[in-house]
Amino acid sequence: MALFSKNKKEKKESRKEEGQKNVEQVLPVSPSLPKGENAHSYSVILYPHITEKGALLGQDNKYLFKVAVGADKTEIKKAIESLYKVAVQKINVLYAHSKLRRVGRHEGHKPGFKKAIVTLKEGSKIDIAA
């Protein structure tokens, strides 16, 4: 191919046509969502809340979890028992309110959240680090 060739435009158009052919071959991927009785549990229990206080509570067979704001104690108990296959003895629920934060003259807020302290029956254990 010469440096100053007149056929450059034809090659660019053919490249565009090749690119359009590849787009047609791509199939849409559907996200895999949990199914069955655990599907609701994943929306109730957001994730384990790992803090220093939570580590100290772990010695007393208690575990901290961030939960959905609309979840109540019975939903949390069912979700923990179905997800982790353990026996729950007691649940305490706390709500951490949102806080105002300021950077210079700009104000914002740190969102609040709901957390649950789950006490398990003796002999039950959750491995959160895994």
Q: Inform me whether the pLDDT recorded for 69 exceeds 60.
A: yes
Domains of the chain from N-terminus onward: 36-120 (3.30.70.330)
Q: What is the pLDDT of residue 120?
A: 95
Q: What is the pLDDT of residue 20?
A: 58
pLDDT tens across 11-55, in order?
A: 556 565 655 555 555 556 545 555 566 778 888 999 999 999 999
Query: DSSP of 75-88, one letter per residue?
Result: HHHHHHHHHH---E
Report residue 76 as tokens: 């949390």
Q: What is the pLDDT of residue 36?
A: 60
Q: Inform me whether the pLDDT recorded for 94 exceeds 70.
A: yes
Of residues 66 and 129, more confidently modeled:
66
pLDDT tens across 100-117, in order?
A: 999 999 999 999 999 999
Reported pTM: 0.67
Between CA 108 and CA 106 the distance in angstroms is 7
**With contact defined as beta carbons under 8 Å apart, do 75 and 91 qualify?**
no
Between CA 67 and CA 61 the distance in angstroms is 19
Report residue 40 as tokens: 């609701």
